[in-house]
Structure 1
Amino acid sequence: MKVQFNGITEGQPVPEKFAFGVYSEEDHMSFGPNRNPEVTWQDAPEGTKSFAVVMFDSDVPSVADDVNQEGKTVSKDIPRVDFFHWLLVDIPATTSCIPEGEDSDGVSPKGKQAGPGPIGIRGVNNFTQFLAGNPDMAGTYGGYDGPCPPWNDELVHHYHYEVYALDVETLGLDGEFDGEAVRKAMEGHVLASERVTATYTLNPDLR
């Protein structure tokens, strides 16, 4: 299976147009264009009945006490966890492209609706938890929301963009399902998958 995330290059920085947060000299971070990248795929295996798209950051601090705090840094030695940015499942087998900006075009305060979207079914990304304490932003974040790592993190973050070809038409997920639910539901149903890994940082010392 051949997969392309247009504008996302292996080992290179994610372009700012796909980011939730972009570097700001005055405020460390400001909202970015937050567009989902175009995704295309071809040559899926015989027997493919649906596709899933997953994008996650594998470098999120497991302890958030110092995240985005003036005068502090997030140590590169803190254990890291996965943070899901995009979950799309039950994409029909007849689909081979998700256009740029189709699932997200700008930051949506308080989030976007989970469930059936423009293409497939949207899961809930981890901005739902990350922004829960912010009264201006708290809500359920469905679909795509791009990179926005801590601006004081000593570690450059890695973002994994994945497409899965599945042998079922539906994963049977509904409601506000998350990334771990998607991974569990896909077990035993993956015919093929492809991944592109890119990087992103808001730390001016690492840019």
Structure 2
Amino acid sequence: MEINVRGIEDGQPIPEEFAFGVYNEQDHMSFGPNKNPEVTWDKVPEGTKSFVVMMFDPDVPSIADDANQEGKVVSKDIPRVDFFHWLLVDLPASSSRVPEGVDSDGVIPKGKEPGPGPVGIRGVNNFTQFLAGNPDMAGTYGGYDGPCPPWNDEIIHHYHYEVHALDVESLGLSGEFDGAAVREAMAGHVLASARVTGTYTLNPDLR
């Protein structure tokens, strides 16, 4: 199975058009275009009945106290955890593409609705937790929201775009399901997977 994410080459920086946050010299960060990239896939195994599309960042600090704080850095030695940016499930077996901008085109304060979307069913991404303390932005974030790592992080973040071919038509998920729920539901049903990894940073010393 093969995946292509238009505009993103494996191991290369992700273009700002796909980012939630872009570098801003005055304020460190400002909102980006936040478009979902086009994802296509082929060479699908026989018996495929549905697909899952996801994107996650495995480099998010497990302790975020110093994130985006003036005069501080997020140490490279802090243990890192997965942060889900995009969860689409139950894409039909006939599908082979998620068009650019169909699941996200701009930053939506308080988030997009989870549930049935333009393509597949949207899960809830981790901006839901990340922005919970911001009264202007707090809400439930469904679908795609792009990279926005701490601007004072000592490491460059990696973003895994993945497609999984499954042997079931539906994972049976509904409501505000998250990345852990998707992984649990997929267990034992994955026929094949493919991945492209892009990088991103808002730290001017690493750009």
TM-score under structure 1 normalisation? 0.99
**Distance in 2, Cα, partners of 1:19 & 1:195:** 19
**Distance in 1, Cα, partners of 2:95 & 2:195:** 18
Which residue of 2 is the match for residue 169 of structure 1? 169
Is the partner of 2:3 in helix, strand or coil?
strand
TM-score under structure 2 normalisation? 0.99
Which amino acid is 2:82 matched to? D
User: How do 1:116-155 residues align onto structure 2 when only pairs under 5 Å count?
Assistant: 116-155=116-155
RMSD over aligned Cα, in angstroms? 0.5
User: How do 1:3-22 residues align onto structure 2 when only pairs under 5 Å count?
Assistant: 3-22=3-22
**Distance in 2, Cα, partners of 1:70 & 1:2:** 42
Q: 1:27-73 CA deviation, whole Å, 9 max, x = no partner? A: 00000000000011112111000000010000000001100000000
Which residue of 2 is the match for residue 203 of structure 1? 203
Aligned positions, number: 207
Which amino acid is 1:25 matched to? E
Which residue of 2 is the match for residue 79 of structure 1? 79
Please say if 1:99 is aligned against 2:99: yes
Which amino acid is 1:66 matched to? D
Which amino acid is 1:125 matched to? N
Q: 1:68-103 CA deviation, whole Å, 9 max, x = no partner? A: 000000000000000000000000111111100000
**Distance in 2, Cα, partners of 1:2 & 1:74:** 35
Deviation at 1:198, TM superposition (A): 1.0
Structure 2 stretches lacking a partner, 5+ long: none
**Distance in 2, Cα, partners of 1:79 & 1:40:** 33
Which amino acid is 1:18 matched to? F
Q: 1:6-44 CA deviation, whole Å, 9 max, x = no partner? A: 111111001000000000001000000000000111121
Which residue of 1 is the match for residue 42 of structure 2? 42
Is the partner of 2:103 in helix, strand or coil?
coil
**Distance in 1, Cα, partners of 2:124 & 2:151:** 24
Is the partner of 1:10 in helix, strand or coil?
coil
Deviation at 1:3, TM superposition (A): 1.2
Which residue of 2 is the match for residue 184 of structure 1? 184
Query: Hey, which bits of structure 1, 4+ residues long, moved more than 2 A?
Result: none
Q: 1:135-185 CA deviation, whole Å, 9 max, x = no partner? A: 000000000000000000001001000000000000000000000000010
Which amino acid is 1:132 matched to? A
Structure 1 stretches lacking a partner, 5+ long: none
**Distance in 2, Cα, partners of 1:90 & 1:73:** 40
Which residue of 2 is the match for residue 160 of structure 1? 160
**Distance in 1, Cα, partners of 2:70 & 2:192:** 44
**Distance in 2, Cα, partners of 1:188 & 1:14:** 31
**Distance in 2, Cα, partners of 1:59 & 1:139:** 23
Is the partner of 1:3 in helix, strand or coil?
strand
Please say if 1:26 is aligned against 2:26: yes
